[in-house]
Structure 1
Amino acid sequence: MKYQCESCDRLVKVETYVIEDGVLAVVCPACGDWTRAAPSLSRPAPSGSAPARAEEPASRGGDTAAVAVPAVGPAVVPPQAARPGVTALRVIRSDAPLAAPPALDGDPFQAPAGHCPKCVALMREDAVSCSACGLVFANFIPEEHQPSEALAREWHALLEAWHDWDVHDRLLSQAMLRGELAMVGRLYRMRLARAPSDAQALRGREEVVRRVTTASPLTSDGPSPTTARKVKNVVMGSVLVVALLLLLVLVQVLRGAL
C-alpha cells in the first residue's frame, strides 16, 4: 500500500507505522516525517512511541538505508463504529411455556357493551338499530342467540386450553357436523371484541369463514328431489290448463263458422 507524504509530497510505501488512540500514523522512509490519518492529533513523542528503526548497510556506496521494522508494543485496535439501522432481535425459545389467556370479564356468550348483541359490530350510543345487520335493539331476544348446551360446554373447555389449536380444531369440526359454525363464528367475534389482539381468536374466525365457504358449494349443487318434483308438477299443470283453454277457443271458433 502506498500513500503521499505530507512533508515531501512523495508517493511512498507504508513501511513503519503505529496506531495511537485508533488513529494510524506512518513514517515516510524518504524524509522521516510522520503522517497521520487525523491531523488534529499530536505527533507521537520521540521517546517510546516512535517505532525502532534498524539500519543496514546499503547494497551500493557507503550510505545507509532505513529498513522498516513494525512498532514494538501492543497495537491499539480502533473501536468499530456502530452499524446504523441494526435492530437487536429478541430471542424466543420454542420450549418456553405459553402465557395463559387473559381473564376477560363478562358473559362469554353475550356481546360486550358498545357492540351489537347479534352480529357484535360496533354501534353508536344513540343508535336504535345496527347498521351492519339491521337489528332493532329493542326487539333483540337473547334466548334466541344462545349456543346449544353441547357447544356451550365445549366452549368453556376451550377457554381452559385456549392456546392449544387442536382443541379449537376439534370444536370447529364438531360444530360443523351439528350445523353450528355460524354460532362459533359469533363466539370468536365476541372474544375479539374483548381482546382485539387475540391471535387464536383471529385464527378461529378465519377458519370458520374458510370452512363455511368451502362447504357452501357442496350444499348448493341443485334443488332437492322433493323441490324438483313439485316444480315439475306445477309446470305440467300449467301446460294442461293452457291446452284446455286453446281447445275451448278452437271449439267456439268452429261453432261460429257453422
Structure 2
Amino acid sequence: MKYQCEGCDRLVKVETYVLEDHALAVACPACGAWTRAAPSLSKPASPKPVPGRTEEPGARGGDTAAVAAPTPEPVLAPVVEPVLAPALELPVVPQRPSVTALRVVRPDAPAEAPLALDADLFQAPPGHCPKCVAPIRDDAGSCSACGLVYANFIPDEHQPSEAMAREWRGLLETWHDWDAHDRLLSQGMMRGEMAMVGRLYRMRLARAPNDAQALRGRDEVVRRVTMATTLASDGPSPALGRKVKTAVMGVVLVVSLVMLLVLVQMMRGSF
C-alpha cells in the first residue's frame, strides 16, 4: 500500500503507522514526516421507511415500532364493452379462371392466291431494291444488302431469259403444285439460272410475305446452290478420277508404242 507524503510529496510505501484518537498516523520512510488521516464524519444512512408500515413505540428497544398497516384495495373501474356496428357484407366476386385464346389452324385452309400476270411481274415492288429485293431504307442512295446504287440500275440487265420467263408464268397458273416448282428449280439448276430463280421467289415474298410455297421455293434454291458448291469444292468423284486415269494410261501406252515402232524403223535403216 502506498500514499503521498505531505512533507516531501513523494509516493511511498506504508511502513510505520500508529492510531491516535481514532485517526491513522503514518511516518514517511524518506523524510520522517507524519501524515494523519482525519476520521470520517459521514453518518450511517438511516433505513428508508417501507410503504404500508408505521413505527410504533417500543420497537427495536426504542420509542417506535413498525406496524403493518392495511393496504387499501384498488377500486376497479367498470369495463364498458364497445358496441360495434354491424359489418357491411360485401358481395363476393367470383374469380374467373385464366382463359388462353387458342388459334385454330385448319390444314385445309387455302394458300395465298397466285399473282396476277401483269407488266411488273419481273420487277421488284416499290420500297424494295430492284436488284436483290431487300427493303429500302429512307434517304438511302444505295442498297445496304447488295451495294447497288439505285441511280445506276438498268432494268434490262436483270431480266430472266425467255425460257425462264415462260416457265415462271406457267408456274403462277399452277402455283399450289409443288411438282411444278420442283421442275422449275431443276431447269434453272441445269441452265445456271438459280440466282434469277431466287430473285423471282423473293419478289413473290415481297408481295405476299406469308406465301408458304414462295418460302419453300426460296429455301430450296439456297439448299441446292449450297449443295452444288460443296460438291464442286470437294473435287471430282472417284469414278470420274478412275476414268481419267485409265484414259491417260491408254494415251501414254499408244505414244510409247508409236515411239518404239519409229525407233525400230530407224535401226533397220541404219543396217
Q: TM-score scaled to structure 2, two decimals?
A: 0.46
Rg (Cα) greater in structure: 2
Q: TM-score scaled to structure 1, two decimals?
A: 0.49
Q: Which has the higher contact order (CA 8 A, sep 6+)?
A: 1
